[in-house]
Structure 1
């Protein structure tokens, strides 16, 4: 196997690497898409492994609102000196069109130093690692000072039965914890060299705003200015022209402070100026030309859907658009809705929230968590910095943060920033990175539970 990351870092003992790989293969080869798959089959596969490893029946639970969407929750009991630690991952995956793949997306393929298959990065890698590590700790006779809760859930990617939401609302007793670890923060590498180990401590708020423009319907041979499509297009133009101001929260500030030590070029200078409050318009423009930096420093919105008309020769009475918004923590959906109405400035265009937003508070960057992540990162990859990040997408951590449980996205699996294939054809993960992430998460849980 070629060495794709320099230099190699410690990995778990061979028997546990093999165990993780076997579980990984089993999960990848179970279709868990919303359209045609069955998350319950994957949950049962993990349940069987845990029961065979000696976990008690009452500590391994399948629970959920739908026969195909059951969640697996398992508990390794500790001394109870501290509140439980939650280990979260989702079992569902997005659809995969076999015609777009070089391999079968639901076959576990090992080739050229990679594991291929739908879910290899998002997120069956973490699910298999959590399961193997829990079995390892049981075999080793580990007695943690807190209960360890494994939760593998359904419908994170979409669907009507989101497991994290259901568990926090309907079975809080199963997943109540003092804090938790989830996806959201990967290691970043470029050209085979590690850049940073990212720790996600907050995420932006997802909000869909719907615009409905109304006008006079009629035959296209008798056009007037009162055309719903024109009204909608003008409104979208005003929305597109709006520039949101830069805002730095705790996590974004920590991100740029640490990234400014890594990037010694002009962008690093721009980051330092931003932190000092002296960045001019050119510096901000250079920084925010990087999509991730743009998303971390301001609210954003983007038109994503359009719908109008029934035939080519009829002027429609109404035209509809969806504008997807990503709000910084602390920003309210109502304020975004109000701002959009002001920009539209047309009573022929209605603006409303299509689906209620799900805001969640940031998780504090505590010495307990930061110290553990930084210490293990230094052990495994000397000199690689830990960088707090704000997720510009969304993860199931938001439901637990809403429930008052701090969540941290970190896994120690390094991905090439120029070759991220989550949700894409030929999804893959570097084999070496997978095994390094397994050992990182094992050490992290031990550090946070002893």
Structure 2
């Protein structure tokens, strides 16, 4: 699941936010491919290698991609002691890498840079271009993973390499973890494995991750940048009704399919209560104030008073805002019956829930049971069981530098904190006490740039400007007390 896309979708709804076009003074475009400085060319070479290394679950190898990064790190001067590559025997191709750049302070805790190497499947016959060849066209780089998430993985690896080559010595240790498994629910998840098995290796005061980013107006102008501060937790439940069945020629009302249908209708009609975090309050207040319409006024009102039912009704007319206000559960899969001429003995459905930060699996399951009101319909959590989402704080030490740099790189563009309604690997870090923030910098277009779909792309200016922004941001964080 790509929360960068979710952040872009949320940002796109902040209509009324006007900003001048960015001025990427030293950012190359497709019209000047030979204008790359040596460090930019080295970054592009790294990015290209990452993108063209297939890391899909079906035929790819994150382990290979991690090894390639390790080779580049060692060439820059990192020792074996600075680098940990990992893979478990049952999933040899789903490995990852952790690298560390020591800090000068013994008092400051490390910071962690997280990104995922795996990508969503891509069929060559469906794409206009080869999905595993980096192609520059019309000011964009096209390839699977060009945006999600190898843009960030390449930025993190590149700055670690440059810092080492330049002899840069930060106050706090900088750690980088590039992992596999973020894109596929049932895959081996490297971030989860590290959190549960190598907590000391990735221990940090805070982490930077995907999930934030900018959005354009669709015409090349960046209109907003976002910092993801919190996300929902994904949990699937199986609803099932059972019955003795019988011959279809003598039907009865006690029918598993009918019972399941009634239960699903009640799930559809149930509205979870409004909940707020500091992040969502700040988002609705700031984004609402930037609008001049009825929804904007309601956003400001509900931020001030979450119990304002009139404001809730208006804000909830927008499907993204509706989801940001509460836990949501929706039926996504259906099965039932065993023969055309038999009463069903079993009927089941998958209900996909996105649980608001702080809400537990048990609370959500209990709410579903109360809404359904039928003890004959069982509700069973479907593995994997994710941790309860723990929202990070709106820490001014994190938000302040990010906003200052947004003003520098994107004059007139606001930085808005958002809670993702999707999910990232940050949830596993937060479960072991590492607040995780989805950073601004790289931007996308309102259509989502083909992430998870066909012909995925990222604007050339976005990649290179985002690289510079994130480099400066990491340096600020690495040297703050």
Query: How far did residue 280 of structure 1 move?
Result: 5.9
Query: How far did residue 318 of structure 1 move?
Result: 0.6
- 1:403 aligned residue (432, 436, 443): 432
- 2:196 aligned residue (163, 166, 169): 169
C-alpha distance in structure 2 between counterparts of 1:170 and 1:320, whole Å: 35
Do residues 14 (structure 1) and 37 (structure 2) align? yes
Instruction: Report what 1:75 is aligned to.
Output: 100
Do residues 327 (structure 1) and 352 (structure 2) align? no
Instruction: Report what 2:237 is aligned to.
Output: 209
Query: How far did residue 311 of structure 1 move?
Result: 3.2
Pair 345,178 (structure 1): closer, same or farther in 2 beyond 3 Å: same
Instruction: Report what 1:365 is aligned to.
Output: 394
Query: How far did residue 418 of structure 1 move?
Result: 3.1
Instruction: Report what 2:312 is aligned to.
Output: 284
Query: How far did residue 314 of structure 1 move?
Result: 2.8
Aligned residues: 446
C-alpha distance in structure 1 between counterparts of 2:93 and 2:124, whole Å: 23
Tell me, which stretches of 5 or more residues in structure 2 are unaligned? 1-19, 28-35
Query: How far did residue 407 of structure 1 move?
Result: 0.9
**More deviation, 313-322/108-117:** 313-322
Query: How far did residue 18 of structure 1 move?
Result: 1.6
Query: How far did residue 11 of structure 1 move?
Result: 5.2
Tell me, which stretches of 5 or more residues in structure 1 are unaligned? none
Aligned residues of 2:22 and 2:409 also touching (Cα < 8 A): no
Instruction: Report what 1:178 is aligned to.
Output: 205
Secondary structure of 2:367's match? helix
Deviation sequence 1:33-86 (CA, Å, 0-9, x none):
112211111001111111111111211220131321211111111203411110
- 1:151 aligned residue (177, 180, 188): 177
Query: How far did residue 342 of structure 1 move?
Result: 1.7
C-alpha distance in structure 1 between counterparts of 2:355 and 2:140, whole Å: 36
Query: How far did residue 282 of structure 1 move?
Result: 5.4
Pair 11,207 (structure 1): closer, same or farther in 2 beyond 3 Å: farther
What TM-score, normalized to structure 1? 0.95
- 2:333 aligned residue (295, 301, 305): 305
Instruction: Report what 2:16 is aligned to.
Output: none
Aligned residues of 2:338 and 2:345 also touching (Cα < 8 A): no
What TM-score, normalized to structure 2? 0.89
C-alpha distance in structure 1 between counterparts of 2:118 and 2:38, whole Å: 27
